[in-house]
């Protein structure tokens, strides 16, 4: 699985949202998932999330595993100081913000419909060519490819 799949799931809210709780057993209501950020810094900016009946506006960071927070060195990057929720597929370690505060974590593993995950895995493992001449493209001269692309 790739992280961008989880970005897609979060962006379009394609998971069970009823009765959400953080790993710390805080009640979570997603009011706005935020704006998808494709640049450096957190994955979704300006999200609006209610955690334990308090509304927070900030950023959401998404990882396959919670330990990726440390693998990517976010604990040392000020761009992640305004993160209000850590969304992960699997939990393997607690994440702490500055001041030794636990970052609320939402685990998606059991919230994504099996059919969505199955479709994603099936499509991501396709090895056949999506166009009939796909196998021959690498045999063509690069100038010829560029010339043909410009003509069409």
CA distances from 105 to 16, 56, 108, 115, 148 (A): 16, 14, 10, 24, 50
**Bridging pattern class, strands 101-102 and 96-97:** antiparallel
**Domain carrying residue 75:** 3-151
The whole-angstrom separation of Cα 58 and Cα 48 is 7
Backbone CA torsion sign across 31, 116, 6, 68: positive
Per-position pLDDT tens, the chain of length 152: 889 899 999 999 999 999 999 999 999 999 999 999 999 899 999 999 999 999 999 999 999 999 999 999 999 999 999 999 999 999 999 999 988 999 999 999 999 998 888 888 787 776 555 555 655 655 555 555 555 555 55
How many CB atoms are located within 10 Å of the residue 93 CB? Answer: 13
Q: How far apart are alpha carbons 82 and 56 in whole angstroms?
A: 10
Nearest partner of 3 among 85, 64, 45, judged by Cα? 64
Strands 83-90 and 44-51, bridge-based pairing: unpaired
Q: What is the pLDDT of residue 8?
A: 93
- Spell out the residues 6+ positions from residue 121 whose beta carbon is closer than 8 angstroms to its own: 1
Of how many residues is the chain composed?
152
Listing DSSP states for 5-61 in one string gives HHHHHHHTT-S--TT-B-TT--BEEEEE--EE--SSS-SEEEEEEEETTEEEEEEEE
Indicate the number of domains in the chain. Answer: 1
């Amino acid at each position: 699985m790739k992280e961008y799949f989880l970005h897609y799931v979060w962006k379009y809210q394609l998971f069970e949202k009823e009765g959400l709780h953080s790993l710390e057993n805080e009640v979570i209501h997603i009011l706005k998932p935020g704006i998808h950020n494709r640049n450096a810094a957190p994955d979704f900016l300006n999200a609006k999330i209610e955690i334990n009946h308090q509304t927070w506006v900030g950023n959401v960071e998404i990882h396959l595993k919670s330990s990726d927070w440390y693998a990517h060195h976010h604990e040392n990057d000020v761009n992640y100081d305004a993160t209000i929720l850590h969304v992960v597929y699997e939990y393997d370690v607690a994440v702490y913000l500055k001041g030794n505060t636990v970052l609320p974590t939402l685990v998606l593993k059991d919230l994504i419909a099996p059919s969505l995950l199955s479709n994603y895995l099936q499509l991501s493992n396709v090895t056949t060519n999506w166009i009939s001449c796909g196998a021959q493209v690498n045999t063509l001269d690069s100038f010829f490819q560029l010339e043909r692309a410009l003509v069409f």
